[in-house]
A and B are shown apart, each in its own frame.
Chain A
Amino acid sequence: MHELSIAMSIVEMAQEEAELRGNVHIQAVHLRLGLLSGVVKDALLSSYEIACETTALEGSQLIIEEIPVEIYCSHCRTERPVHSVQYFCCAECGTPSAEVTRGKELEVFALEIRE
């Protein structure tokens, strides 16, 4: 369970951004979370609330966009969704591939602020 330390990094990062912008008030943090990031969405959401306590972000929302896994398919010669995380092959043609092009994201994408 490493979601709490990740949540604390998110809060820290958001606070720095708020300061850079003249101590704006952050209402929500938008996060992109890849399905192969190794981070569990629900655990992160509850950890976020705890991490926000007694900080300027208390009461703010964490909005998570889950990013599906994509691989490079050598047969289709393009990026394709994976069949499933238990079965790394092209969802279109079934060619196996371990070349992950999307789905490992753990990125603070945007902030909703009030000035």
Chain B
Amino acid sequence: MSPEPRMVEVRKNVLKQNDVIARALRERFRNEGILVVSLVSSPGSGKTTFLEKTLTLLRPHFQVAALVGDLATENDAQRLSRSGAPVKQITTGTLCHLEASMIQKALDGWEVGKLDFLFVENVGNLVCPSSYDLGEDLRLVLLSVTEGEDKPLKYPTIFNSADVAVITKMDLAAAVDFNEPTLDQNIQAVRPRMQVLKLSAKTGEGMHEFLDYLQKLQRRRLQTAYVRLA
């Protein structure tokens, strides 16, 4: 052994393995013309209710499916199945987030090419999911009006990893003295020009605008897929 240590340069991304799988998934989704939307939020923000409503409203017109991540239980998958859409639960055990390889594995045996929309509900956690690309086209960060307007300032990283913010449980806004301008200001502070949608899955308020937005993205996706194949 030489007495002096020597430095060697490596320069390798620690999450390379995840990123490689995520890239392959994204390519596959693009080629097959599916729009993949993932949902991140803290536990209890209304992800499952929102997703159940979304699946129910889309299903008469589109082929939709969902993957749902949780530490334990199949409860969410059972709830989402009521929409009639195919749903698969990913139980992560002690893992606090989904990784791209779990999505890949969960899709085994599904005819992905027949789908128009695939939704991926991440484990309820505003920290860990931010590091992992899942190959999705659109990442929604959900935040309910009951959670406090300063949440974006406390979790800027997850807001930075997401594309659109969805404010849920708007039907409770008055009851909890929800301060809409303050929340808007805080979201724009951590992610300037972020698109924000406000809705209530319970009353249906704002759902139409959200579904319109998804359909527009899906149409654009089909056009780009068409161009790619031509």
Give chain A's interface residues, CB within 8 Å of chain B. Answer: 1-2, 5-6, 9-10, 13, 17, 21, 25, 27-28, 30-31, 36-39, 85-89, 96-98, 100, 106-115
The answer to whether A89 and B192 touch (CB under 8 A), given A9-B14, A39-B131, A108-B14, is: yes
Which single residue of chain B is at the shortest CB-CB distance from A89? B192
B8 near A111 with CB under 8 A, answer yes
Q: For A17, A88, A106, A107, which residue has the most chain B Cβ atoms within 10 angstroms? A: A88
B97 contact set on A, CB distance < 8 A: 2
A113 near B13 with CB under 8 A, answer no
A38 contact set on B, CB distance < 8 A: 127-128, 130-131, 157-158, 161
| Secondary structure class of chain B's binding surface, majority of residues | mixed
B11 near A107 with CB under 8 A, answer yes
* Sample of 15 A–B contacts (CB below 8 Å): A6-B131, A17-B12, A28-B5, A38-B157, A39-B131, A86-B190, A87-B190, A88-B190, A98-B194, A100-B160, A106-B15, A111-B7, A111-B8, A112-B5, A113-B5
The answer to whether A36 and B160 touch (CB under 8 A), given A89-B192, A114-B2, is: yes
| 8 Å CB interface, B180-194 against A | 188-194
**Interface residue tally of chain B, by bracket?**
35 or more
Which single residue of chain A is at the shortest CB-CB distance from B131? A38
Determine whether B10 belongs to the interface, using a CB cutoff of 8 Å to chain A.
yes
Nearest 7 Cβ contacts at the A-B interface? A96-B192, A38-B130, A38-B131, A2-B128, A85-B156, A112-B5, A98-B192
Give chain B's interface residues, CB within 8 Å of chain A. Answer: 1-2, 4-15, 17, 95-97, 127-128, 130-131, 153, 156-158, 160-161, 188-194
Give which listed residue, A107, A112, A114, contacts B13 with CB less than 8 A.
A107
B192 near A108 with CB under 8 A, answer no
A39 contact set on B, CB distance < 8 A: 131
A108 contact set on B, CB distance < 8 A: 10-12, 14
B12 near A13 with CB under 8 A, answer yes
Give which listed residue, B8, B17, B189, contacts A87 with CB less than 8 A.
B189
What's the Cα separation between A97 and B153 when bound, in Å? 16
Q: For A21, A25, A111, which residue has the most chain B Cβ atoms within 10 angstroms? A: A111
B5 contact set on A, CB distance < 8 A: 27-28, 112-114
The answer to whether A36 and B191 touch (CB under 8 A), given A109-B10, A115-B1, is: no
What's the Cα separation between A2 and B96 when bound, in Å? 7
The answer to whether A97 and B192 touch (CB under 8 A), given A1-B96, A2-B131, is: yes
A107 near B192 with CB under 8 A, answer no
Min C-beta distance of B214 to chain A, whole Å: 22
A21 near B8 with CB under 8 A, answer yes
Min C-beta distance of A34 to chain B, whole Å: 10
B128 contact set on A, CB distance < 8 A: 1-2, 38
What's the Cα separation between A46 and B83 when bound, in Å? 44
The answer to whether A111 and B14 touch (CB under 8 A), given A38-B157, A88-B189, A88-B191, is: no
Min C-beta distance of B138 to chain A, whole Å: 16
B190 contact set on A, CB distance < 8 A: 85-88
